Amino acid sequence: MGPVSQTLPPPPPLHDIRVIDLSTVIAGPNCARYLADFGADVIKVERPDTGDSLRNMAWRDPRDGEGLWWKLVNRNKRSLALDLKDDADRDLLLRLVRDANVLVENFRPGTLERLGLGPDELHAVNPALVITRVTGFGQTGPYRNRTGFASIAEVMSGLASISGEPGGQPLLPAIALTDEVTGLVGAFATMVALHSGTGQVVDVSLLESVFQMMGPLLSLYKLTGEMQPRLGAGLPYTTPRGTYLCSDGKWIGVSASSDTVAARVLRLLGVGGDERFETFGARMANRAELEAIMIDWCRQRPQDEVLRLFDEAEAAAGPVMDMADIAADPHYAARQAIVEVGGTPMQGLIAKLSETPGVLRWSGRGIDADGDDIRANGWGIRP
């Protein structure tokens, strides 16, 4: 009997892409993380003394004291400590740039230039390099030099102005929403630039990333003068839509954003055929009445019954879940939406590719964990 042939799994789709990650905290490093998750060789560059401030931000792993955010955002990256004001360290960086495909940074505009590492200098070393620059307000415009954080982008993009209860204070997201979105925007824009085959600068801002999420609200205002009000969990163009309390103290979320689903919900609520609710326009004109019916219907039933009835009616509803619910949920488990990387539970890959999937290899590493190898061998042979 002859030898059994083995088919090796295909390499991840970005296995031939080399990325230098000079960025800090969340948005820029997330851009590089998404590339690393799908196989890019990413070298994370940090300050030698303190490293990236994300290491010490928010919650820590009780087992080893490492930052949980650090472990997630900088997974799959090699770690190198460099002082960019030191000639030898800057020379090492430029040697890495020579064979890199991408450099990600999120310093204030002009900082790279003051270090002698601006796009002109980097492209002189590697004309094909894609330089992804992530800032609060972009590389141009009157706000370019302002200090930029996600929360500031959220208040200046229109998001906070429509978030909150009617007549209440504008609210900010309870997560680093804009940082997370901007990381995805940065990864997408970087891949577009790489596909172009032309070395260039990719200018990504927190402000414009979250502003893109506002849909047609700017068009609505410019064309009609109308502005979306704060409606708590509601939306001005669909009802019922929101979160509703059930008789057992548990909450559900409901959306009836299409006529067919709305018709099913109305039949379930016992108001099918009611002229007040037959069309989008009618439902909007009678929002208060329909919301009151929905609230009362849910208050009379426990959550599991509400969800069963919605499921039987093929209408859209789901339980309001916290992290304890999510950690125990069979769908999250079946989809590998939660995985362990280096023994730390965290989100899995953001998308599933059928033929060339991404690979999660390790969580965020210690400061300069790969420094000796990179100093001796440059890009060398990746782990």
Instruction: Characterize the bridge pairing of strands 241-245 and 251-255.
Output: antiparallel
Q: Which of 232, 282, 254 is nearest to 271 (CA)?
A: 282
Counting other chains too, the contacts that 276-285 makes at CB distance below 8 Å and 24 or more residues apart are: 280/237, 280/238, 283/238, 283/239, 284/236, 284/237, 284/239
Residue with tokens 């001005």: 236
Residue indicated by tokens 């994370």: 44
Q: Is the peptide bond prior to 240 cis by the omega test (within 30 degrees of 0)?
A: yes
| Residue 166 DSSP class | T
The 8 Å CB, 24+ separation contacts for 50-57 are 51/81, 51/367, 52/24, 52/25, 53/24, 53/25, 54/24, 54/25, 54/26, 54/29, 55/364, 55/367, 57/25
CA 324 to chain centroid, in Å, comes to 21
Catalytic annotation, residues: 179
